[in-house]
Structure 1
Amino acid sequence: MTEVDKVIAGHQLPTPDLTALPFITIDPPASQDLDQAMFLEREGGGYVVHYAIADVPSFVPAGGPLDTETRRRGQTIYTPGNRIPLHPIPLSEGAASLFANDSRSAFVWEIHLAADGTQTTAQVRRATVRSVAKLGYEQAQQMLDAGNAPAAYAETLALLAEIGTKRIELERARGGASLNVPQQEVEFVDGHYVLEFRPALPIEDWNAQISLLTGMAAAQVMLAGKVGILRTMPAPDADAIAAYRLQTVALGKPWAADIAYGEYLRTLDTADPKQLALMHGASTLFRGAGYTPFNGSIPEAVTQAAVAAPYAHATAPLRRLVDRFVLAICAALCAGEEVPGWAVEALDALPEIMSASNQLASKVDRAAIDTVEAALLSHRVGAEFDAVVLAGPRTNGHNTKASAARSSIQIQDPAVTGYCEGILEPGSVVRVKLVAADIATRTISFVPATAPATAVPTGS
């Protein structure tokens, strides 16, 4: 019997028993590693958010082989139609996953909100929960729009929209921001891969607000206890802001000096090519995110600038290593107990582990998309496409004399982003010609449709 089998076989459900509360999960339809379940209710003029997070710490003995291996991995790495899990499948997609109709151990946050959505109190404890439904985003959105959700969770869906909307308004008031760029996604459909740009549904934004609320609550608990690890990001520096302001003027939608950048980004309509370019360009303002551990004193930098508040990763322990330690620390602090030594001892090592795994995840994601793009376009070399110029110019490599300037572009059909040789105006719609698409090297190359087809292939 493996360590995982032994842990699962010997696992006991905790008290209290909260299985009478009708929790639900809302995730991509194919997801099996279900980290979060929610139950929302009214309380006087305000609300109570019950947010159950998979109880991973109880399945991973400190210092054991599984603990060591998860520290080596850092997070689940996703590829089209597959994944390299942080935890063994029997755990992450079995005993610890918050499946519908199964009693599960969880860290349950109870967060009380005022009528405007402002948090008043928050605490977390281990408990036994049972989800009554596993919903996909589109399914949940359709139920909410049609008003035909089952009675067991109709109020939770309705309150998700209500609370989510109020939390977005609070985010706007404190200067928080989100990059709502349509996501380029690879899907495996009917035996083959397809690419698409998928804008987020409203329910995804509301769902994200519950997760953000919980991450902010976790940060507050740890800061009050003077021990933990925060997800931090510095505010944009003056040079980045100045450069971006110039870009907004050049593209015809100036960013006024008295408007916070989060508020400005909410005004952008990504259906407009120029404003789509501005949304992509705003990524220059979202840099430098990392993890800040502390023990015994409050660190100087505690804010995640995009959230515009102290924030911690606390809601995805099945897929992300750091969350396991945050949950254990928060539960101990809320119970007035000593924080587990294994959690405190790991704090200094976690930033490096998470940084390495984040870099790997980004490389794998980009490689997967590049491969599918090259495969989809491999039979269309010589074809022309309409494209939106996202940014430019850029240079290929460090030797600018040996490499031509290039501009970042986006094609709608197929859903490809890449580079086109030459200096092109951001926000403009141009005609480009595909001159290379190599699956083995995961590279594609475009040139302006009027230019000679002699470009050197570049990765997209």
Structure 2
Amino acid sequence: MALVVHTPGAGDFASLRADFELPESFPPDVLAEAEAVAGDPADAEGGREDATDLPLVTIDPPGSKDLDQAVYLQRLPAGRFRVHYAIADLGAFVRPGGQVDREARRRGQTLYLPDGNVGLHPPELSEGAASLLPGATRPAVLWTIDTDSGGEPTAVRVRRALVRSTEQFDYETVQAAIDGGRAHPSIAALPELGRLRRDLAVRRGAVELQLPEQEIAAGPDGRWLLTLRPRNDVELWNSEISLLTGMAAASIMLEAGVGVLRTLPEAGDDAVDWLRRTATALGIAWPEDATVSELLAGLDPRQPSSLALYAGTTRLLRGAGYTAFDGGVPELATHAGIGGPYAHVTAPIRRLVDRFATEVCLAVTHGRAVPAWVRAALADLPELMSASDTRAARVERACLDQVEAWILAEHVGRTFDAVVLRAEENRAEVFVEDPPVLTRCTGSGFPDSGRIAVRLTAVDTEGRKVSFEGPVR
């Protein structure tokens, strides 16, 4: 996998931040409130369980400071599992209607840029008092989920607790340890449970697209690097623990008739028929009795035809949003990409909706009324989160566009190898392999899939645009 650096003097992301009107810091009153509550978190109704004896660990990207989750997995008799999943308790620090709360509602979620994050919460909380940093006792919402030998949940318990993470790991370190037979005892069961949960996901009809993911990082000389972001097994297995918890939360809220879900409507028969025709055109055999999920799970993501089908499958995953409800089960209560009901509860430091969904689960499971401030906010959350999701996606794409333009600025006229992801009459979506660029290409005679050559015809670094044409023969 090639790393490419942009040319010296290409600049930074200040103009991008200005274009999106991203705040440079938090208002003084927000910072003052955050500093005050950081040292004096609110008492939990009914007290907190002391769970500091659990050997929890965190697994995050290298250098992360806003640590939302800590995990400890146990093997039980008869092949069963127990998942202890501690989630940062922002409810202990964010006063409903206070300055931090109002600012968080304006922001919606943390935005990640190569030169620094635009946080949902002030760093006094997100990287300090609320973060599940190793060796520090922290308030948390502790989920304990028992599963059967097949990985299906059999019992769920959620409560407020005090926890203390014992280690902070990153994905590559954990992967290397597992591959070398040296897995940390707290997550030694992760491979087995992770595989079980991924098998269940395929049976549920979950849809996972293994399209190339670009990543921007700072190089040792201060220049920006553009490379592919590989997802190793540990990251996939770890995400299954989060999904398990989110699905448990959704079940709790649906049973109570109040809450907020992450939803996605099922694709229509016409969309699936179109995908089946696309697979045939790409030369991919699709057994008559195989679901979309089963087909995708069996593809080799290294093959151009597989990448093209993944790109086409995005057509089946349109319309994601949030569904709030109070007083009954909503008409749309499932997420087609996950294959069942699902809710966001595992990243409250970085995402607004998680704090509210968590409060619903805590109240319901302890036989208390859902707090009035939570109920009052439910109707607004879908719009707030939809707007912040859109903004986050646009910022992420703009950052990638900017680095792509910087890197390619001196290569106008050069020919590059590319893979066709989606072809139309006079243009195609392609993946340029080196440097790793996802872009559109104009021209004619594009194949439905496969490798082609494309030519870089123009670069606009200020407008963050690159132009390709092809196929070059």
TM-score, normalised on structure 1?
A: 0.93
The aligned counterpart of 2:172 is 138
The aligned counterpart of 1:398 is none
Deviation at 1:127, TM superposition (A): 0.1
Alpha-carbon distance in structure 1 between the residues aligned to 2:395 and 2:271: 28
1:379 equivalent to 2:410? Answer yes
Deviation at 1:194, TM superposition (A): 1.2
Deviation at 1:281, TM superposition (A): 1.5
Alpha-carbon distance in structure 2 between the residues aligned to 1:179 and 1:449: 26
Q: Which amino acid aligns with 1:44?
A: P
The aligned counterpart of 2:185 is 155
Deviations 1:77-124 (A, max 9, x none): 111131100000110011000000000100000101011111001121
Alpha-carbon distance in structure 2 between the residues aligned to 1:16 and 1:443: 54
1:418 equivalent to 2:460? Answer no
The aligned counterpart of 1:457 is none
Deviation at 1:71, TM superposition (A): 0.5
SS at match of 1:303: coil
The aligned counterpart of 2:210 is 180
Deviation at 1:277, TM superposition (A): 1.1
Deviation at 1:12, TM superposition (A): 5.8
1:21 equivalent to 2:54? Answer yes
Alpha-carbon distance in structure 2 between the residues aligned to 1:359 and 1:129: 34
1:436 equivalent to 2:464? Answer no
1:43 equivalent to 2:76? Answer yes
Q: Which amino acid aligns with 1:175?
A: G
Deviation at 1:426, TM superposition (A): 2.6
The aligned counterpart of 2:8 is none
Percent identity between matched residues is: 45
Deviation at 1:254, TM superposition (A): 3.3
Deviations 1:294-352 (A, max 9, x none): 11111122111111111101100000000000111101111111111111110000000
Check whether the contact 1:41–1:47 (CA below 8 A) recurs between aligned residues.
yes
Give ranges in structure 1 of 5+ residues lacking alignment. 395-404, 452-460
Q: Which amino acid aligns with 1:359?
A: T
Check whether the contact 2:210–2:307 (CA below 8 A) recurs between aligned residues.
no
1:123 equivalent to 2:153? Answer no
Deviation at 1:372, TM superposition (A): 0.3
1:232-311 aligned within 5 A: 232-311=263-342
Deviations 1:254-281 (A, max 9, x none): 3333211111111121211111111122
Check whether the contact 2:260–2:378 (CA below 8 A) recurs between aligned residues.
yes
Alpha-carbon distance in structure 2 between the residues aligned to 1:434 and 1:449: 11
Alpha-carbon distance in structure 1 between the residues aligned to 2:130 and 2:378: 24
Alpha-carbon distance in structure 2 between the residues aligned to 1:80 and 1:408: 25
Deviation at 1:43, TM superposition (A): 2.1
Alpha-carbon distance in structure 1 between the residues aligned to 2:162 and 2:63: 24
Deviations 1:216-251 (A, max 9, x none): 000011111111011111111122112111111000
The aligned counterpart of 1:226 is 257
1:111 equivalent to 2:141? Answer no
1:67 equivalent to 2:101? Answer yes
1:92 equivalent to 2:126? Answer yes
* Superposed structure 1 runs of 4+ greater than 4 Å apart: none
Alpha-carbon distance in structure 1 between the residues aligned to 2:363 and 2:291: 37
Identify the range of structure 1 (139-148 vs 106-115) with the bigger mean alpha-carbon deviation: 139-148
Q: Of Structure 1 and Structure 2, which has the larger fraction of its residues in strand?
A: 1
1:365-404 aligned within 5 A: 365-393=396-424
Q: Which amino acid aligns with 1:433?
A: R
Alpha-carbon distance in structure 2 between the residues aligned to 1:192 and 1:239: 47
1:33 equivalent to 2:66? Answer yes
SS at match of 1:79: coil
SS at match of 1:378: helix
The aligned counterpart of 1:56 is 90
Structural RMSD (CA): 1.4
* Shift in CA distance, 252/393, structure 1 to aligned 2, threshold 3 Å: same
Q: How many residues align?
A: 437
The aligned counterpart of 1:454 is none
TM-score, normalised on structure 2?
A: 0.90
Deviation at 1:188, TM superposition (A): 1.5
Deviation at 1:431, TM superposition (A): 1.1
Alpha-carbon distance in structure 1 between the residues aligned to 2:40 and 2:303: 57
Identify the range of structure 1 (384-393 vs 345-354) with the bigger mean alpha-carbon deviation: 384-393
Check whether the contact 2:42–2:93 (CA below 8 A) recurs between aligned residues.
no
Deviations 1:342-399 (A, max 9, x none): 11110000000000000000100000000000100000111111111111226xxxxx
Alpha-carbon distance in structure 2 between the residues aligned to 1:204 and 1:427: 29
Check whether the contact 2:73–2:188 (CA below 8 A) recurs between aligned residues.
no
Q: Which amino acid aligns with 2:75?
A: R
Check whether the contact 1:178–1:265 (CA below 8 A) recurs between aligned residues.
yes
Alpha-carbon distance in structure 1 between the residues aligned to 2:148 and 2:472: 60
Q: Which amino acid aligns with 2:411?
A: R
Give ranges in structure 2 of 5+ residues lacking alignment. 1-30
